[in-house]
Amino acid sequence: MASITFSGTGRHVLPPVMMVSSNNSGNKVDGVSIRKGNRDSVVTNVATTHRDHLQVATIDQKKQLVVPADWENHVAWKSIPQERWEGELDVQGQIPLWLNGTYLRNGPGQWNIGDYNFRHLFDGYATLIKLHFSNGQLIAGHRQIESDAYTAAKNKQKLCYREFSEVPKAENFLAYIGELGNLFSGASLTDNANTGVVKLGDGRVVCLTETQKGSIIIDPETLDTIGKFEYSDNLGGLIHSAHPIVTDEQFLTLLPDLINPGYLVVRMDPGSNERRVIGRVDCRGGPAPGWVHSFPVTEHYVIVPEMPLRYCAQNLLKAEPTPLYKFRWYPESKGFAHVMCKASGKIVASVEVPLFVTFHFINAYEEEDEDGRVTALIADCCEHNADATILDKLRLQNLRSFAGEDVLPDARVGRFIIPLDGSPHGKLEAALDPDEHGRGMDMCSINPANLGKKYRYAYACGAQRPCNFPNTLAKIDLVEKNAKNWYQKDAVPSEPFFVARPGATEEDDGVVISIISEKNGGAYALLLDGSTFEEIARAKFPYGVPYGLHGCWVPKK
Ligand SMILES: CC1=C(/C=C/C(C)=C\C=C\C(C)=C\C=C\C=C(C)\C=C\C=O)C(C)(C)CCC1
Ligand SMILES: [Fe+2]
């Protein structure tokens, strides 16, 4: 393997040892192996170019290694240094004594196999973090999820499954033909459950991604991988929404149908592995269903968003990523919102809406007239101004290279107004002035007691510009239409997750948990007061924790 160090004049801290690697002869970070005791010597096989103040070192295309000179400092985009860890953290401030339980956060935390570097944020192998709160104390830990994709990569030291942007290279033509077969059967799709984690009504904790096979049961205490969550029905299909709606009573999700463009709306009861069909929505645009990373519900309805960013079979088959990865933007196919009655499965509205791009719905509720009749549904989401280029902005090279440059596309709280009176069109507008949260907005949570109901507060990551990635935590007041923002220079915070105080009557009575990755290689757990949005406690990790995606709360039994 090429032994490389960084060119340029800056000092480089020796990065930590990587796990997906069998070679212990040198230190490695994201596959970059560095000769011990000789950290500032010459790069092998690497060309250095200068872009403004940044030095970008690139290696040959086959290895895809792109190492900006300063990326090694920001721990947000750096693979986690070891496979597992657990220990008590020193707490500055006061953890509320009522906060007893475990916060779990999932996300892609390992972006390399040996010296092979992944390209996209969403490619990384799932890293599960826990923060266990008990009587004011905090035990933290992390562990890699043992998916088939991760285990195979570790054992064979190569990519074996199709990730978000990474595709295993076929060794010859026959292998390529076999690969195509594997793609159609789903065998080559990843089960790398790196996106979310949910606690089902029966207590099982499941990590999820977009593939159905990437539903993996874990132990919330030890973070052990228990095994696959096998759906026992015959509904088939390969993908589902990465964000099911999960309550103590039910699990609702969408199964996109790529053959006959549409979606099945399905429900699963606690204790069961069998999903039952509530109803089906046929797409109104084509040629494929829109990507449904998430969807919203109200008390009585499921809203099926049909986004013009649609799954794309050709792109799924390609060996090299396209700018929109497995998707394609079809503005001419338009955007729609379909409304299905949860009880009957009937579609009660299907309206055309302005073009939109969203990964995450925040919440939805029913608007009533004075006689209590539901006249419209309101659905809020993190909306990227109908600009799908956000996907490419989340390439690791962009995240690592453009820190501090104002390249994050604008985003807003997109509010859909979906009439139920038979009108053919719905509306989409900003729920508040996007400048309130720096025109950046994603990774949201609410008080779960308000799921599907009229609500006032959303917590999300926002932006303090200039930035290339959301870098604040925002408490958004949808009634007063303003936001409180938490910001710390060079910090990359993950999704602010709201935990309600037991017995609370106010919507924002609780704490907000986030994990902050720091430029200097550090990381800490942060607790903000859900009401004042002031810091109440922080606890430093003894090692760098990268950025992660979504979390859940497992209360003490
Ligand atoms: C989409 C498909 C796949 C994989 C998807 C994965 C692994 C993750 C998607 C995660 C998303 C959309 C997270 C969104 C985060 C948004 C952020 C941080 C925005 C910030 C901007 O302001 C498979 C599994 C490869 C299968 C095909 C489809
Ligand atoms: Fe998500």
49, pLDDT greater than 50 = no
Please tell me the distance between residue 122's alpha carbon and the centre of ligand 1 in angstroms: 5
* C-beta 383 within 6 A of ligand 1: no
* C-beta 163 within 6 A of ligand 1: yes
Q: Which of 37-46, 133-142, 380-389, 539-548 has the lowest mean pLDDT?
A: 37-46
Which residues contribute to the annotated binding site for Fe cation?
243, 293, 360, 550
* C-beta 210 within 6 A of ligand 1: yes
Percent of the chain with pLDDT strictly greater than 70: 87
Mind giving me the DSSP string for 70-88? Answer: TGGG-GGGS--SSSEEEEE
* C-beta 215 within 6 A of ligand 1: no
Residues 34, 27: Cα–Cα separation, whole Å: 6
Residue-level pLDDT at 182? 76
Residues 440, 411: Cα–Cα separation, whole Å: 5
| Tokens coding 187 | 């065998």
Band of the pLDDT at 181, cuts 50, 70, 90? confident
Please tell me the distance between residue 363's alpha carbon and the centre of ligand 2 in angstroms: 14
ipTM above 0.90, yes or no: yes
206, pLDDT greater than 70 = yes
177, pLDDT greater than 70 = yes
Residues 286, 306: Cα–Cα separation, whole Å: 10
Alpha-carbon torsion (251, 252, 253, 257), positive or negative: positive
pTM of the model: 0.88
Percent of the chain with pLDDT strictly greater than 90: 81
| Tokens coding 518 | 């720091």
CB neighbourhood size of 88 (10 A)? 12
Alpha-helix residue ranges (DSSP H) falling in 186-296: none
Express each pLDDT in 507-529 by its tens digit: 999 999 999 999 999 999 999 99
Please tell me the distance between residue 71's alpha carbon and the centre of ligand 2 in angstroms: 24
When pLDDT is averaged across residues 353-376 and rounded to a whole number, the result is 98
* C-beta 442 within 6 A of ligand 1: yes
Interacting residues of 158 by C-beta distance below 8 A, sequence separation 6+: 113, 116, 168
By most ligand atoms within 8 Å of CB, the mutation choice from 210, 241, 310, 328 for ligand 1 is: 210
Residue-level pLDDT at 21? 37
Q: Longest C-alpha distance within the chain, in Å?
A: 77
By most ligand atoms within 8 Å of CB, the mutation choice from 183, 293, 314 for ligand 1 is: 293
Which residues contribute to the annotated binding site?
243, 293, 360, 550
Report which of residues 172 and 555 the model is more confident about. 555
Express each pLDDT in 412-448 by its tens digit: 999 999 999 999 999 999 999 999 999 999 999 999 9
Band of the pLDDT at 20, cuts 50, 70, 90? very low
Specify the 3-state DSSP secondary structure of 219: coil
Which atom of ligand 1 is found nearest the CA of 162? Answer: 25
DSSP state of 401: H
* C-beta 212 within 6 A of ligand 1: no
Residue-level pLDDT at 317? 77
Give the residue among 109, 20, 54 at the shortest CA–CA distance from 517. 109
Residue-level pLDDT at 186? 82
By most ligand atoms within 8 Å of CB, the mutation choice from 110, 159, 164, 165 for ligand 1 is: 164
500: left (phi over 0), alpha (psi -120 to 50) or beta: beta
* C-beta 470 within 6 A of ligand 1: yes
CA end-to-end span of the chain: 49
Please tell me the distance between residue 254's alpha carbon and the centre of ligand 2 in angstroms: 14
472, pLDDT greater than 90 = yes
Sequence ranges of the domains in the chain:
75-555
94, pLDDT greater than 60 = yes
Burial class (CB within 10 angstroms; exposed 0-12, middle 13-18, buried 19+) of 367: middle
Band of the pLDDT at 32, cuts 50, 70, 90? very low
CA quadruple 353, 358, 364, 366: dihedral, nearest 10: 0
CB neighbourhood size of 62 (10 A)? 7
356, pLDDT greater than 80 = yes
45, pLDDT greater than 50 = no
Report the DSSP beta bridge partners of residue 476: 458, 483
Backbone φ and ψ of 97, nearest 5°: -70, -20
Say which residue the tokens 């509530």 belong to.
278
Express each pLDDT in 221-276 by its tens digit: 999 999 999 999 999 999 999 999 999 999 999 999 999 999 999 999 999 999 99
When pLDDT is averaged across residues 39-62 and rounded to a whole number, the result is 26
Please tell me the distance between residue 15's alpha carbon and the centre of ligand 2 in angstroms: 29
CATH topology of domain 75-555: Methylamine Dehydrogenase; Chain H (2.130.10)
72, pLDDT greater than 70 = no
Please tell me the distance between residue 164's alpha carbon and the centre of ligand 1 in angstroms: 7
Least distant ligand from the CA of 210 = 1
* C-beta 474 within 6 A of ligand 1: no
Which atom of ligand 1 is found nearest the CA of 390? Answer: 21
Residue-level pLDDT at 316? 80
50, pLDDT greater than 70 = no
CB neighbourhood size of 301 (10 A)? 26
Express each pLDDT in 315-354 by its tens digit: 887 878 889 999 999 999 999 999 999 999 999 999 999 9
Please tell me the distance between residue 550's alpha carbon and the centre of ligand 2 in angstroms: 7
Q: Which of 25-29, 69-73, 250-254 has the lowest mean pLDDT?
A: 25-29
Express each pLDDT in 264-294 by its tens digit: 999 999 999 999 999 999 999 989 999 999 9
466 preceded by a cis bond (ω within 30 of 0): yes
Which atom of ligand 1 is found nearest the CA of 470? Answer: 22
Burial class (CB within 10 angstroms; exposed 0-12, middle 13-18, buried 19+) of 344: exposed
Q: Which of 26-30, 502-506, 532-536 has the lowest mean pLDDT?
A: 26-30
| Tokens coding 249 | 């009573």
* C-beta 161 within 6 A of ligand 1: no
* C-beta 123 within 6 A of ligand 1: no
Please tell me the distance between residue 549's alpha carbon and the centre of ligand 1 in angstroms: 9
The protein residue with its alpha carbon nearest to ligand 1, atom 7, reads: 122
When pLDDT is averaged across residues 52-56 and rounded to a whole number, the result is 24
